[in-house]
C-alpha cells in the first residue's frame, strides 16, 4: 500500500517504539531513540502477557527477553517464528515485524542461540515540499544476533549475545543534496537468570538483562547527527504454582528502564537550546548508560516515571492449552503506552501455536499501533530431554 509522503515514514518509525510525542512542554519529555523496532515485543506468548518475558520459563524466544534462561529449557532444540502486523488498525497491510529465534543445547550446561528481527515499513512515495512526486521507496530495518548461555549452578545462568543492527529508512530516496545512507551498528546483551522453581513445580524465578549496549546510529556522514539506540535495563520475577497434575499458573512482573539520556528541556532561546542539543548528542555511549539514572530535568521523580511496567499471567492445562492476560504501563509524560493484552496457546507434540491480542485503548497519537491486531507465533520443539512437555511452547 502506498503512503503519501516520507514524513509519514518518519512517523511510523517513531510510533514503532513509543507512540512518540515529539513536542516538549513543561510535563512531556519522551526519551526517544533510533531503531525503536528493537523495543517491539517480538513474541506472541509474551505479547499475550503484557510483554512479560524476563523471568518466565524458557522457550524458543528466550533470546529476545533473557538469553540466560535457555540452558534451563526442557528441550534440546527449538525454533520460534512470530509475525506481528503493525498499524493494522489504520488499514495498512505491508507494515510488519517478522521475528525468528531458536537455540540448541550443547549439553546440560550450555546452549547456543540465534535470532533475527525484520521490520518492514512498507512502500512509500517520496515528495518534495510542494507535494511533487519524487519516486518510491521501501524503508526497512533488521537485527541479527547470536548468543551463548551457560548454567553456573543448578539455579543460576548467565548469557551473552552480539547483535548487528541495520536501519535503511531512506531506501530509494532521491538525491536532495544530502547523502543519506543506511545506519548500522553493533550491540551486545548481558543477562542473568535464577531458577527457583522446585521439583514440585512451585517457586520463584528472577531475571535481569542489559540489552542493546552498543554504538550510536547515523543516517548521514555528519557525526553530530548520530542517535542513541535503545540500550535497556530489564528486571523481572515470576511465580509458578502447580495446582495439580494438570493445572498450572504462572504470573509475574517486569520493570524496564531505557539507558538513554533524557532530552533537555528547551527554553525557546535558540543559542541556549542549540548548546543543550550539542551537549545531549555529544555524550558518549558508555557515559549515557550511567547518567541515564540521574539526568532527567525533573529530578528523581521524573527518573521514576521513565520506568515501564509489565504484569502478566499464564494458565496452563495439561501442558497443552494456555490462557494468558497482562497489562503494560508507561507514564503519560514518557510515551503514554497503556494497554491490556490477552492470549492463547496450543501445544501438540512438537508443534505449538500462540496468539495474542492487544485490547484497543486510547485515541489519536495515544492509540497503540497494535490495537485491533491479532499476532501469532509458531514454535517447533525438535528434541526432548525429558518426559514432560514445557508449558512455554
Q: Which residue has the higher pLDDT, 160 or 374?
A: 160
**Measured distance CA(1)–CA(277) in Å, rounded:** 36
Is the Cβ–Cβ distance between 208 and 191 less than 8 Å? yes
Q: Is the pLDDT of residue 393 over 70?
A: no
pLDDT in tens, 290-313: 999 998 888 889 999 999 999 999
Residue 244 confidence (pLDDT):
93
Give mean pLDDT, residues 190-201. Answer: 94
Give mean pLDDT, residues 184-213. Answer: 96
Class level of CATH domain 2-384: mainly beta
**Measured distance CA(181)–CA(219) in Å, rounded:** 5
Within 10 A of 338 (CB to CB), how many other CB atoms are there?
16
Give mean pLDDT, residues 17-45. Answer: 73
Cell 504470573 sits on residue:
251
Per the document, the length of the chain is 393
Q: Is the pLDDT of residue 126 over 80?
A: no
What's the predicted TM-score (pTM) here? Answer: 0.86
Mean pLDDT score of the chain: 85
Name the 3-class secondary structure at 244. Answer: coil
Is the Cβ–Cβ distance between 191 and 158 less than 8 Å? yes
Residue 271 confidence (pLDDT):
80
Within 10 A of 186 (CB to CB), how many other CB atoms are there?
13
pLDDT in tens, 215-266: 999 988 877 788 999 999 999 999 999 999 999 999 999 999 999 999 888 8
Grid cell of 296 as nine digits: 532527567
Q: What is the arrangement of strands in the sheet containing 2-3, beginning at the earlier edge strand?
A: 2-3, 123-127, 133-137
Closest CA to 259 of 216, 215, 212, 227: 212
DSSP assignment of 256-295 equals EEE-SPPPPPP-S-HHHHHHHHHHHHHS-HHHHHHHTTT-
Residue 272 confidence (pLDDT):
82
DSSP assignment of 187-225 equals EEEEEEEEEEE-TTS-EEEEEEEEEEEE--B-SSS-GGG
Cell 506481528 sits on residue:
84
Q: Is the pLDDT of residue 369 over 80?
A: no
Amino acid at each position: 500500500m502506498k503512503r503519501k509522503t516520507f514524513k509519514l515514514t518518519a512517523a511510523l518509525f517513531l510510533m514503532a517504539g513509543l507512540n512518540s510525542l515529539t513536542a516538549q512542554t513543561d510535563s512531556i519529555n519522551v526519551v526517544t531513540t533510533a531503531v525503536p523496532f528493537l523495543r517491539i515485543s517480538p513474541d506472541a506468548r509474551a505479547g499475550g502477557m503484557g510483554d512479560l518475558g524476563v523471568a518466565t520459563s524458557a522457550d524458543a524466544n528466550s533470546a529476545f527477553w533473557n538469553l540466560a534462561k535457555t540452558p534451563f529449557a526442557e528441550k534440546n532444540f527449538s525454533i520460534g517464528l512470530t509475525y506481528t502486523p503493525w498499524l493494522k488498525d489504520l488499514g495498512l497491510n505491508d507494515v510488519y515485524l517478522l521475528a525468528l529465534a531458536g537455540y540448541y543445547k550443547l549439553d546440560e550446561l550450555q546452549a547456543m542461540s540465534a535470532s533475527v528481527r525484520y521490520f518492514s515499513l512498507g512502500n512509500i512515495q517520496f515528495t518534495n515540499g510542494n507535494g511533487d512526486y519524487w519516486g518510491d521507496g521501501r524503508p526497512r530495518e533488521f537485527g541479527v544476533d547470536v548468543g551463548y548461555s551457560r548454567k553456573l549452578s543448578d539455579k543460576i545462568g548467565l548469557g551473552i549475545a552480539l547483535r548487528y543492527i541495520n536501519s535503511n529508512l531512506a531506501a530509494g530516496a532521491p538525491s536532495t543534496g544530502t547523502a543519506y545512507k543506511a545506519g548500522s551498528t553493533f550491540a551486545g546483551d548481558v543477562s542473568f537468570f535464577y531458577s527457583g522453581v522446585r521439583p514440585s513445580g512451585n517457586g520463584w524465578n528472577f531475571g535481569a538483562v542489559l540489552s542493546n549496549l552498543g554504538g550510536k546510529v547515523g543516517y548521514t556522514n555528519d557525526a553530530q547527527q548520530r542517535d542513541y539506540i535503545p540500550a535497556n535495563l530489564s528486571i523481572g520475577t515470576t511465580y509458578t504454582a502447580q495446582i495439580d497434575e494438570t493445572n498450572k499458573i504462572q504470573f509475574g512482573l517486569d520493570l524496564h528502564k531505557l539507558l538513554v539520556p533524557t532530552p533537555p528541556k528547551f527554553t525557546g532561546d535558540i543559542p541556549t537550546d542549540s548548546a543543550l542539543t550539542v551537549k545531549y548528542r555529544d555524550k558518549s555511549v558508555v557515559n549515557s548508560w550511567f547518567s541515564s539514572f540521574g539526568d532527567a530535568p525533573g529530578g528523581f521523580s521524573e527518573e521514576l516515571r521513565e520506568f515501564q511496567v509489565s504484569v502478566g499471567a499464564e494458565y496452563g492445562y495439561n501442558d497443552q492449552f494456555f490462557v494468558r492476560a497482562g497489562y503494560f504501563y508507561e507514564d503519560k509524560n514518557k510515551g503514554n503506552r497503556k494497554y491490556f493484552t490477552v492470549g492463547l496457546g496450543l501445544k501438540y507434540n512438537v508443534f505449538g501455536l500462540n496468539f495474542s491480542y492487544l485490547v484497543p485503548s486510547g485515541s489519536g497519537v495515544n492509540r497503540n499501533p497494535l490495537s485491533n491486531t491479532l499476532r501469532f507465533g509458531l514454535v517447533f520443539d525438535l528434541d526432548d530431554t525429558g518426559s514432560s512437555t514445557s508449558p512455554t511452547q
